[in-house]
Structures are given as structure tokens and as C-alpha cells.
Structure 1
Amino acid sequence: MPPAPLFTPPSERLFALAEDLDTPALIYDLPGIRAGVEAMRHDVALIPDAGLNLALKACHTPAVLGEMAALGLGCDVASPGELDLAVNAGFAEISATGPVFTETDFDALAARGITLDCDSLDQLDSYGRHRPGDEVGIRVRVDLPEALEDTATFAGDSRFGVRPADPELTRVLERHRLRPTRLHVHTGQMTPDSLRYKTRYLLTVAEHLPEVHTIDLGGGFFHLYRDRASAIDAFGDVAALVTGWRERTGRSISLRFEPGGALLTPYGYLLTRVRSVEEHHPVLDTRVVTLDASAWNLAPWHNRPQVLSLDGRRPGAPALLAGCTLYENDFFGATPTAARTTLEVPHCRAGDRLVITATGAYTITNARWFNRIPPPREHLFDGEHMIDAEAALTTAGATA
């Protein structure tokens, strides 16, 4: 029997309670998040000593981060600001990588027992000058075979990472007596085959660095989980690779994964109100539905969401779903190759309410105030109640 789908649809109660919210509003389905995390963690547990961490860049909402920490996830941060969020949320395990960290930040990370994964030779040299003899992580650049590359990958052409065979890497490590203990890679979206390849690659690198004890294989779980059964097969193969490596080297090694969008995107719902409907736009040659929320301000990465009617089930038809700014390409559902993507949008008129799915990650972390249009109010659906996210945080602080 094939494994159950990773995504758990929300209960009808979420949409019933949404009727009382002002628009625009962003709703996080907590039961869905919990079910998705548990399913993904169940799969990853096939690998000995493997853990699931949240890429914090996907979500900066403290109330949601507190839920993720309470589920036992670790997290990866890319800035001092994200580090503050992670600490306040209560994540027990924190990793860090990113070009923004300064020498002051090096000390702040070390004081918390966090090993920085340096993402360039220059950053590694700066770290070594400031903290000679310290342990350090290395973000590794992986040259994927051409068959594993596509428009969603960032491997050999990434701006981040160090090539393990670069002679300068050895010189920098030796010059500052740095001790590499972590390897970290992120190659954009990954497939089951690229996961197998990256695991073999990084285990080979780790074999030549005797103090490495952790490998972070990054995120990119959207493509990995296009078929859950294939993902599970890949995790099983990774488990065999890790077990064989341990037996051959006599060393222990732990693996980490850090999805962001795949953990949260499916469980966010953007509630909006229709501002206008042009049944046949004279220039764009299609129906254009304009909302009271902006894709340009909120959703530049959200590819092809579903659009639902909150005002009863209605048939859909192709349309461009436009945001409310004066930016020409303010359209929902943009893809890397098309700023204007036709979506299936329910028949509607001004004043009707629509729900845009797949908005649970990167929506608020990407938010901008173009035209001084504020971001939506955030809410948590706990299975029974709709809770204002800011109020939930205040209540949790008072209880603590």
C-alpha cells in the first residue's frame, strides 16, 4: 500500500471561522502543520541519527515558531535577527549559515554553542583570524551531474559554498588551526536521486576531515516529496550509505535536513476580498480579478496556488489574479519564467472573498510595503478556535 500523502487538508471549521475575519488575513493551520511535521519526521527517522530542522527564513512569526520548537524541531538561521527569533521561540538545536554574520556575531554564536557554517573562503578566513583554533562548519558547493540539474537547482553555479578540492581551503584551515566539524549544503530543490548523490559526495568529503560529525543536507523538499514513496526509498538508501560509512570509518555521523517551504507552505491560507473584476481586460485579453492584497508585496515565490471561494462553492474559470499595488506585474501565481500566470479563479464580483492556498511560508518573511500597503493580520487555527497570532504570543508570554 502506498504511503499516505504528506499534506493534510484543513477542516471545514477553519473556513467557517474565517468568515468573521477582516481581510486581508493570513491563517496558519496548526493541526495540518503538526501532521505534516510528524509525517516528514517519520520518514527521515529511517536514517540513524538524522534530524529535521526548520529553515527559519521561511517563517518569522513568533507564535508559529513556538509551535515548531514545541514539536521538537531544530532550526537554521541566516542572520542575527533570525538567531534572536530562534532563541526566543525555544529551539533546542540551532545551526547558522549566511554571509551577513560579522566578527561580533561569530562570538555571539559561539557563546550559544552554535558552529557557524562559513559559506565562502573569505568568510572562513575572517572567522579564523577572529577565532583561531576554533571549530567551524563549511558550506560545501556541490557540482551535480548535468542529469540532476534543472531550473530549480543551485549547485555548482550557486553564489554560496566552498569547493572541497580547492587548495586554498586547506591553507585557510591550517593557517588558523580551524577544526571543521560540520558540512552544510543547499542546492535548491532536490530529487531522490540528487539526495543520494549529495549524501555520497558529502560522506566522501567527511572521510577526509576527521572531526566532522554532522552533515546538513539542506532543504528543497518540494521536489523531493512530489512522490512520497520515492522520497522514502531515497531515505532508506541514505540510511544504508550512512551505515556503511560508519562501519568503514569507525566514526559516528549525524545528518540534518532543513526544509522550510515544504514544512509550512501547504498550511497557510490568505483570505482576501475582491476589489474589482474585469471580465475581459482590453489589453491582457483575459479576465482580471483584483484583490485587496498584493502578490508583489507578499508572494513573489508562490507558484500556482489554488484559489477558493469563501462565499459558497462556485465554478472557476481562467483569470489573472491581480494584487492591489500599482506595480505592473503584481499577479499571484508567478513562476520563475512567467510573471503573469493564468489561474483557475472562481466566478466572483467586487466584495466577494477568496482564499489563496499555499501561503504558509515566505509570505511574511518576504513582505514589503510597496505603496504603503500593510501586510495581512496573521491568525492561528488550532482545530477549534481562530486565534490572533500577536495575541497568542502575548498570552504565551504572560503564562511564562
Structure 2
Amino acid sequence: MTQTTSGHDEGGAAAPATTPGARRDPRFDAAVRAAVEQGLLGEGSEVAGFIDTEGVRGSVAALHAAFSGAPGVLHTFAAKACSLIPVLRLLADRGMGCEVASPGELRLALDAGFAASRIVLDSPAKTREEIRSALARGVSVNADSLDELRRIDALRAPDSASVVGLRINPQVGGGTIGAMSTATDTSKFGVALGDPGAREAVVEAFRERPWLTRLHAHVGSQGCPLELIAAGVARTYELAEEINATLGVRRVTSLDIGGGLPVNFADGTVRPTYADYVAALTSAVPGLLSGRYSLITEFGRSLLAKNGFIGALVEYVKDAGGRRIALTHAGAQTATRTVFMPDAWPLRIGAFGPDGAPKNGPVLAQDVAGPCCFAGDVVAYGRELPELAEDDVVVLYDTGAYYFSTPWAYNSLPRPAVYGFWAEEAEAAGQAGPVVFTTVRDAQSLNAIAAESGLAHADALVRADASPRPEGPEERDG
């Protein structure tokens, strides 16, 4: 879904729309039906993720359009939001850079085709080897602490092409989801700017290092209102001005303002939009988009969430204690945050028949549960949907980011297949053409699960010279 509507969203946990068919996206309906018809969903393919490639392109275009008035902006995609190489390559093709936070993500970004100069490495716990490798490649590095800057002092070659920045914590407070708020007084990220002596130490760090030219801040994401995010950017901008004025030289030349645009999970509309965000930034920091500083953004969830969904087969339906429960193949292994924090991460659910067509008829309050072997593996409680039955399909909307791309291996459940889709042009004007799918990631095989679980070392703990095991009671009494 592209950015087409406006209005501010505080990123809270409003309950999703439950009216069957409300704000349906005909592209997604067509994709579900085509996936069932083509065998991508159903028996033998019980769960899969789907990415709307045209929707992704539209979201990227909306981002670039919103910042079009600002010169020198590098928009990077937070790789953790969808760490799939074909998706990253699509984003690189649309002019994005990439923000990474681990050696694995850096490898994925490079394999996806991002130039090293368009990659930014963020992490609160970089090893010496991570830093050394990034600096050798020309990847930008945001140090998370003054101690990390001192480590970079020892590792950075004089001719390194990497831009080096320092992350600060503007300490502007938290949003409605504490775990997603990174600018609280005690956040583990960045230099806590308001702590005694911290501001002076940051200025001194820039004085001592002519190659330190960037400030970085990230207030948080889901649950953080635009005003809070903009306040953090404003404090970062003010600090840059202070550093340059104190040193009498334009030392800070770029600002990495992070990402964090919250996603509306309550219905199908996109709010807030990137245009809303730019308006909030302009209000809080009038000079930010003037070109005085080059800018870097790190959006993730807002680019992908509404452009993807999970489809899953209903395996059984049962009643327990007066509650109807649909047991499906989409649970905590693909919707981890929703299962463990359902109030913070509610998802809209769609009901489809065995043929992939949307279900209609009277609604019934039902729990939609997953396959994991613990009682809390439920993605939706008491959701009013057309009555689900065996072999139906449920759809978890707004899951294009952080869901099927980073599954949890609980119960050794296989990682689901992921497909990109688009509609071909129809012969008749104004009509949608057939849905085309392409494989983004194959479903994980049982052989791959066994290999990942140490199959090659199966005998590693069995010693030929081990002492005989103690006899059990039955053997002694034998």
C-alpha cells in the first residue's frame, strides 16, 4: 500500500478494524486467491509470506517525494525490518541506501548490491573486527559511545573513506511502547546528552577528531508520536550548531536523524505519512531541510509493513470453555511480537475460504491461534470474523516488516516461503491482470533444520571411552 492518506497517528495500540471486508485491498484479495490456485497456500504449503512489490515501490516514491525539497538526503532502509536479499535489492534499485546493525546484515546489504558508501553501520556493541571491516570497506559508522570512539581511534586508517558519526541520546522521553523507545533517560543507546558532563565531552570528542563529522540520533519507532521524534531531531540539530560554533569550524557536516515513523495497524490507511513527518520536522527544526547539513534517514517498518501479509491454512477448529478457536499455521514463529505483546502489536485478520475467496456471512467471535506448543500462541483473541473452518485461509495483514522475514525457530518450525507479487497489465483498460509471483525465499526444508541443529556433529557428545551409564532401578531389580 502506498502512502495515500494523511492524518496523525500516535503509534499506539488501537484495536484493528474487525468488520469483515472493511477497507479491503483488491490487490491482496486477488493475491490470496491466486496463491491458493497456484499451490503457494494450502496443504503442503501451510504458511507463507507475501510482498507487494508495486506497493514497496510506491512507498519509496512517497518517501523521496516528501523530502524532495531538501538537498543531500540519503534515505537508508533499516535491514532488520526485512532482511531478505531480494527485497534489499529492490530497495537498492529504487535509490535507497541501507542501515545495518550486525555483520550478518552488512553481508546481506553488500550481497544485495548496496554500495559501501551508501551503507551505515549502527549497533551498541560493535566488535573490533566489525569496526575494522566496516572502515576498510568505506562503510559509514555511527559510534554508540565515547568508548567506541576511542576504539575507532586505534582502528581507523588515516585514508579511510568511511564517514564516522557519534550517536547521542537526546533524552526527550518515551512513547507508548517502552521497548521501542530509545530516547529515555536510561536508554542503552548513544551518549546520554543530559547527563552531567556529557555535552561537554561530546564537544571535546569532535574537537579532538577532525574526521568525526556526523551526529546521529534515533528517538524510537512504534508508539512514538511525530512530535517526540521531531523534538529529538531538534536537540541533535542544536548540538551540531553548538559544536560548530564552539570549534569555530564546520566540523559537523551531516545529521543521521534515524527512522521511526510509526505504522497504523488499526486499519488499511497509511498514517502518518512521510509528508506529515516532514511537516513536523519543519515545524520543530526550521533549518533542517535547508541543506545546511546533509541528512540520512533510516526508515524500515513504515516502508514495508503495509506492503506485505502472511497467509496461513486453518488446520482445525475447536470449542473450549465457550470459546471458538481456529488453529492455524501462523503463530509466534512468524508473529512473535504480536503473540507476546498483543496490545502493542495488534494485527488485522482476514478470513478466506479454501478456494482463496474472501469469506462472507454472519460473524463469530473467534480466537486465531498458531501451531507453537505453548498456550499463549494466539495472534488474535475474540476477533469477529466469518466462521472459520478446516482448510480455510487466514491472512495477517501489515506484516511486511519484522514478521515473516525474521521468524523464530520455536519447535523447530521451518521458516516459511516468501513470495513477491504484482499484477500484470490487463488487456482491457481499467481491469487488473493476472497475479504473478516470484520466489523471494524458499521454505526451509527438514534437512536444513537438521543441518542447522548440528546434524554434522551428531556424535560430538558421545564418547567411545565414556564410563557405562548408571543402572536404572528396573535393571538393578531385574
Judged with a 3 Å threshold, the aligned counterparts in structure 2 of structure 1 residues 363 and 290 are, in CA distance, closer, same or farther, namely same
The one-character-per-residue Cα deviations of 1:136-163 (angstroms, maximum 9, x if unpaired) are 211110111x5x7433532123211113
Q: Does 1:298 align with 2:334?
A: yes
> 2:237 maps to which residue?
203
Alpha-carbon distance, 1:169 to partner: 4.2
CA contact (8 A) 1:30 1:383 kept: no
Alpha-carbon distance in 1 for matches of 2:418, 2:365: 29
> 2:5 maps to which residue?
5
> 2:182 maps to which residue?
154
Alpha-carbon distance in 1 for matches of 2:79, 2:414: 22
Q: Secondary structure at the match of 2:323?
A: coil
Q: Does 1:102 align with 2:139?
A: no
> 2:57 maps to which residue?
34
> 1:227 maps to which residue?
272
Alpha-carbon distance in 2 for matches of 1:81, 1:14: 31
Count of residue pairs brought into register by the alignment: 369
CA contact (8 A) 2:80 2:100 kept: yes
> 1:141 maps to which residue?
169
- Structure 2's unaligned 5+ residue stretches are 7-22, 245-249, 265-269, 339-344, 425-435, 443-478
**1:34-183 correspondence runs (5 A):** 34-92=57-115, 93-131=118-156, 136-144=164-172, 149-151=175-177, 152-156=180-184, 157-164=186-193, 166=198, 167-169=200-202, 177=209, 179-183=211-215
> 1:192 maps to which residue?
226
Alpha-carbon distance in 2 for matches of 1:105, 1:161: 18
Alpha-carbon distance in 1 for matches of 2:183, 2:98: 22
Alpha-carbon distance, 1:368 to partner: 1.9
CA contact (8 A) 2:219 2:229 kept: no
> 1:277 maps to which residue?
317
Judged with a 3 Å threshold, the aligned counterparts in structure 2 of structure 1 residues 390 and 323 are, in CA distance, closer, same or farther, namely closer
CA contact (8 A) 1:57 1:362 kept: yes
The letter for the 2-side match of 1:122 is D
Judged with a 3 Å threshold, the aligned counterparts in structure 2 of structure 1 residues 159 and 365 are, in CA distance, closer, same or farther, namely farther
> 1:18 maps to which residue?
35
Q: Normalization by structure 2: what TM-score?
A: 0.70
Alpha-carbon distance in 2 for matches of 1:239, 1:8: 38
The one-character-per-residue Cα deviations of 1:24-57 (angstroms, maximum 9, x if unpaired) are 1111110111111111221122333233211001
**1:366-385 correspondence runs (5 A):** 366-384=406-424, 385=436
Q: 2:378 aligns with which of 314, 324, 331?
A: 331
Judged with a 3 Å threshold, the aligned counterparts in structure 2 of structure 1 residues 352 and 34 are, in CA distance, closer, same or farther, namely same
Alpha-carbon distance in 2 for matches of 1:292, 1:192: 36
Alpha-carbon distance in 1 for matches of 2:56, 2:128: 36
Alpha-carbon distance in 1 for matches of 2:404, 2:92: 19
Alpha-carbon distance in 2 for matches of 1:10, 1:82: 34
Alpha-carbon distance in 1 for matches of 2:214, 2:289: 18
Alpha-carbon distance in 2 for matches of 1:171, 1:233: 33
Alpha-carbon distance in 1 for matches of 2:24, 2:157: 48
Alpha-carbon distance in 2 for matches of 1:116, 1:211: 16
The letter for the 2-side match of 1:73 is M
**1:316-395 correspondence runs (5 A):** 316-332=363-379, 341-384=381-424, 385-390=436-441
Alpha-carbon distance in 2 for matches of 1:194, 1:178: 31
CA contact (8 A) 2:315 2:329 kept: yes
The letter for the 2-side match of 1:127 is I
Q: Does 1:216 align with 2:256?
A: yes
Report the identity percentage: 27
- Structure 1's unaligned 5+ residue stretches are 247-251, 334-340, 392-400
C-alpha RMSD of matched pairs (Å): 2.8
Alpha-carbon distance, 1:317 to partner: 3.4
Judged with a 3 Å threshold, the aligned counterparts in structure 2 of structure 1 residues 183 and 342 are, in CA distance, closer, same or farther, namely farther
Alpha-carbon distance in 2 for matches of 1:183, 1:10: 43
Alpha-carbon distance in 2 for matches of 1:259, 1:298: 21
Judged with a 3 Å threshold, the aligned counterparts in structure 2 of structure 1 residues 40 and 231 are, in CA distance, closer, same or farther, namely same
CA contact (8 A) 1:379 1:386 kept: yes
> 1:394 maps to which residue?
none
Judged with a 3 Å threshold, the aligned counterparts in structure 2 of structure 1 residues 365 and 354 are, in CA distance, closer, same or farther, namely closer
The one-character-per-residue Cα deviations of 1:215-238 (angstroms, maximum 9, x if unpaired) are 111121116963336434224436
> 2:325 maps to which residue?
288
CA contact (8 A) 2:263 2:305 kept: no
Alpha-carbon distance, 1:288 to partner: 1.8
CA contact (8 A) 1:10 1:32 kept: no
CA contact (8 A) 2:72 2:295 kept: yes
Alpha-carbon distance in 2 for matches of 1:318, 1:49: 51
Alpha-carbon distance in 2 for matches of 1:168, 1:324: 52
Alpha-carbon distance in 2 for matches of 1:131, 1:187: 28
CA contact (8 A) 1:46 1:239 kept: no
Q: Secondary structure at the match of 1:197?
A: helix
Judged with a 3 Å threshold, the aligned counterparts in structure 2 of structure 1 residues 8 and 140 are, in CA distance, closer, same or farther, namely farther
